[in-house]
Structure 1
């Protein structure tokens, strides 16, 4: 039972007024309320889709009466004769006054000093607790590691599908990362790779990347990860004008080869309507800012220089060696990754990679929160 919540009809607007204590008070539109009715006569109990069109509701719909029930819920009657029970706890979540239990954990900005590598053993993800712990770390930190996975070529296909459907690109369903005589990308050399996000030239940019180590016995080649959220927060603090321009000016990213031309333009830093970071694009070999006033471009180039330097500053990086069976899962819209140089003549370093979209792990999280064990990702999205 939810204590201290009142819901009364609002005769002036035709809706209702919900209040909690003396601080929280909100007017609720009658159609807003009616669309949240979860009655089997109006909403399919299996797929939870409405069995009616919202436009079929009367335009002059009003709340006729509200009665408080003994269990803390409310019975609401509408002017068209329909009545339904409304759960107070769910209304508080819908109003934004309580956390949604299905909402994924909030991101936690980290640096080298505060960062930790969230990891679990492969066997653990067959349990609800193990998968829950892994996803906790992933959503909070923007990356996670699974150790001891099967690591034959192609094993990544089944591993990634534990979390969502694989998104195929011109690189293939799975792509191999190792030194090649004719490299179509710098990843296929032994050169060091600066911190970057993958495929910033795509629309939409791939949401989540997996890198799976099949073999590694070379000298060097440490993998690096950087928290884009921490970078953006730092620039906001020390250079707010630069931070604003990085969010305003569109930047064109283009990948151009004999078989593929992919291009998109977007600011390096993207936020949602509430000001939360939703995307960071950084790939220093592929970006071209669009024309703008010289003063803004001065700020942009200064901000981009600062962003790139911070992204490759050891204070913001975590590094670790790839070992056979290690699977790195990272949010490609938040986490930057790179590597130190390695000597390709000293052995062989072979990774396989692929991409999935964000909705897979989010769906998996919600079903785990609702059902406890769910399908553990075998039908994640």
Structure 2
């Protein structure tokens, strides 16, 4: 957690902050926008009653009165005067969003870390635990889910709202000859991201096993964060191209034709890698200069090899009554081929948005009054990472 100290200077009519030893003067316009009185800010929603975009860009502080260590009354040149609790600014200096840190994993990870029982999830404490597992590893295996149609929606609604697509609120995964997606056949499916042709892509996918009478048809999961670490070490130039060159993805059938362009490797506004858009069945090599195309394809090829490597890919049998929930762009999923004549293999799937579990998690932790600090997560995460990486 960051150390923040505020300096309230009455003589110079100024306010500043020192964050981990670095000094930040707080401009008048920045402060004016963050007024905290009930006439300008709704205390419940933290939403403003005024339009800050219309403030005078030349507004200045004309008077500063210190009332307590972090409490001050500020008066501005536009006539506004109000009381400020400077501790309310802490979030402006910390990019941490309250969630546990990612822990990349390989196929030798202790899989018991990923499991939780549905009955446990139905309590607040259990739901917090389940979301922590998911936010940390990008995957959660829920046990003892009733093998009933629509049960996937019950689990999905614990974490967020179901996102409906052209496949419906949920979709059935079983063998259908001449289906509109290879997922509905018995052929092998390599690791992939679902729906890279959509904007936005589904953030989270849930797959619930109702029946599995086949000896093959194993589920596969692979953490792209671990794979991308390795790719960047082996081929930094190719990695950089995959981060910046958009790729075209397309899906079409009789009722819809979806096209989207996005980079294969995705990052957040701070530059942190968050996952990939990877689906060899749906993407197209971008038009580049000869040498760049060679570098791009070489990196794409190696990425595919790493994703399928036993070092990274976890293969397992999803049993009836089990549900896998995974971060669609971080943890890629797939399936080995199977013989449909052996018996039925029937799954139901659904999507929810990626921000839903995190929002629910933060609300539950706030309700409990037990939000852990980033330092506590970092200590726990460091220990877990050391154990998993040997």
TM over 0.5: yes
Q: How many pairs does the alignment contain?
A: 365
Does 2:106 match 1:106? no
Query: Counterparts of 1:107 and 1:77 in 2: how far apart (Å)?
Result: 40
SS at match of 2:269: coil
Name the stretch that deviates more: 252-261 or 33-42: 33-42
Deviations 1:91-125 (Å, cap 9, x if unpaired)?
333222xx75x522221111123464412100111
Does 2:183 match 1:187? yes
CA 115–268 in structure 1, closer or farther in 2 if over 3 Å, else same: farther
SS at match of 2:31: helix
Provide the residue aligned with 2:17 in structure 1: 18
How far apart are residue 282 of structure 1 and its match?
A: 0.8
Provide the residue aligned with 1:366 in structure 2: 362
Alpha-carbon contact 2:197-2:259 (below 8 Å) kept: yes
The correspondence for 2:75, drawn from 75, 78, 93, is 78
Provide the residue aligned with 1:377 in structure 2: none
Provide the residue aligned with 2:326 in structure 1: 330
How far apart are residue 65 of structure 1 and its match?
A: 4.1
CA 4–323 in structure 1, closer or farther in 2 if over 3 Å, else same: closer
How far apart are residue 346 of structure 1 and its match?
A: 1.3
Does 2:3 match 1:7? no
CA 327–27 in structure 1, closer or farther in 2 if over 3 Å, else same: same
How far apart are residue 367 of structure 1 and its match?
A: 0.6
Structure 1 segment 12-91 matched on structure 2, within 5 A: 16-20=15-19, 23-70=21-68, 72-79=69-76, 80-88=79-87, 90-91=88-89
CA 11–337 in structure 1, closer or farther in 2 if over 3 Å, else same: farther
How far apart are residue 11 of structure 1 and its match?
A: 8.4
Alpha-carbon contact 1:156-1:352 (below 8 Å) kept: yes
Alpha-carbon contact 2:36-2:82 (below 8 Å) kept: no
The correspondence for 1:248, drawn from 244, 249, 257, is 244
SS at match of 2:220: strand
How far apart are residue 246 of structure 1 and its match?
A: 0.9
Structure 1 segment 276-355 matched on structure 2, within 5 A: 276-355=272-351
CA 4–252 in structure 1, closer or farther in 2 if over 3 Å, else same: closer
Provide the residue aligned with 2:383 in structure 1: none
Does 2:165 match 1:169? yes
Alpha-carbon contact 1:16-1:63 (below 8 Å) kept: no
The correspondence for 2:213, drawn from 211, 217, 235, is 217
Provide the residue aligned with 1:202 in structure 2: 198
Alpha-carbon contact 2:251-2:257 (below 8 Å) kept: yes
Provide the residue aligned with 1:92 in structure 2: 90
How far apart are residue 259 of structure 1 and its match?
A: 2.3
SS at match of 2:158: coil
Query: Counterparts of 1:180 and 1:3 in 2: how far apart (Å)?
Result: 59
Alpha-carbon contact 1:115-1:318 (below 8 Å) kept: no
Deviations 1:34-79 (Å, cap 9, x if unpaired)?
3223321211223322111114534332234445555x42213122
Which structure 2 residue ranges, 5 or more long, are not aligned? Answer: 370-390
Provide the residue aligned with 2:387 in structure 1: none
Alpha-carbon contact 2:10-2:66 (below 8 Å) kept: no
SS at match of 1:162: helix
Deviations 1:188-228 (Å, cap 9, x if unpaired)?
12222111110111111111111011111211122111111
Alpha-carbon contact 2:265-2:275 (below 8 Å) kept: yes
SS at match of 2:40: coil
Name the stretch that deviates more: 254-263 or 48-57: 48-57
State TM-score, norm by structure 2.
Answer: 0.87
Query: Counterparts of 2:23 and 2:52 in 1: how far apart (Å)?
Result: 26
Q: Which is richer in helix?
A: 2
Alpha-carbon contact 2:4-2:17 (below 8 Å) kept: no
Please report the RMSD computed on the Cα atoms of aligned residues, expressed in angstroms: 2.3
How far apart are residue 10 of structure 1 and its match?
A: 9.4
Query: Counterparts of 1:308 and 1:68 in 2: how far apart (Å)?
Result: 60
Query: Counterparts of 1:355 and 1:367 in 2: how far apart (Å)?
Result: 21
SS at match of 1:137: helix
SS at match of 2:198: coil
How far apart are residue 131 of structure 1 and its match?
A: 1.0
